[in-house]
Structure 1
């Protein structure tokens, strides 16, 4: 264990470091597993088990995620463990770039063990900064019940309710927009 000594008898473990890096194919398997873990760790009355199973029956192939993230602008959130110095993929975010001067946020997932620590906000701020540099006039998202609060906090406004049908289940969401 790496420790720093500040005064007699006091030891402090250095904090984990957080990086947001552009997506690379080497992260595809981790993203696939992370997505599935995130979905199946949802504990919310609006997301019963059959709905979670429709959302993610099993981890999708690395190829699926690589193709999906390669067609967009995507970033991976890495945490370097302070004791082992290993980098762990704890989240990802991506924005579809096929729309003229408007980006549609496709995914934002943070591992359950790392949620509520500001990583979603950090990832979003990174994406928004990139979008402004690209000259995007607005960003949109279909936010879940779980992410709606984050996007509201970040300045998004709900336009309408939206729904996606998958394997006989209806996944509700909120279509939201923010001007850049």
Structure 2
């Protein structure tokens, strides 16, 4: 059974592997081998991912039927920056290659958007990859322009996108 849970430290290693695998299975005609290696040459440490995710609002999609050392299998990740300068920025949205094209990214995004609306975050933004751009467009994001990130000497192209969220009525 698949379900969404808040991020927990016990998933940091799985998240690291999920991120690395999701990047490295991208077709070479979408992002080159050099770009993918710059983006993720190997899984990052659990410390890196725990620090990154515990400083934001993060959710995981887990599969209760698969197990990794006594912990359900993490097959998806999304996180939202909640600090002042980056409030509303979607930092990560990744799905394990074995679970792609099953609606997991949409379910995770819906969870994030529902929480952001209830938290009175007025605007979401993202530097979407070539692969995630259609997902964000389908959820009402507006494309601003191409964006470029330098990683280990490679320039990786994406798209700066944003979406205005409805304001919650105060009762």
Q: TM-score higher than 0.5 here?
A: yes
Structure 2 matches for 1:2-151, cutoff 5 A?
Answer: 17-81=1-65, 87-99=72-84, 102-151=87-136
SS in 1 for 2:23: helix
SS of 1:105's partner is strand
User: Aligned partners of 2:104, 2:60: CA distance in 1, in Å?
Assistant: 11
**What is the Cα deviation at residue 161 of structure 1?**
1.1
Structure 1 spans left out of the alignment, 5+ residues: 1-16
- Greater CA deviation, 92-101 or 115-124? 92-101
Q: In the alignment, what sits opposite 1:4?
A: none
Correspondence for 1:3: none
TM-score, normalised relative to structure 1: 0.86
How many positions carry a matched residue from both structures? 162
Cα deviation, residue 46, structure 1: 2.9
What's the offset of the Cα at 1:99? Answer: 3.1
CA change 1:86–1:70 in 2 (3 A) is closer
Moved over 2 A (4+): 99-102
Larger Rg, first or second structure (1 or 2): 1
* Equivalent-residue separation in structure 1 for 2:84 and 2:118 (angstroms): 16
SS in 1 for 2:88: strand
Distance 2:73 2:63 in 1: 5
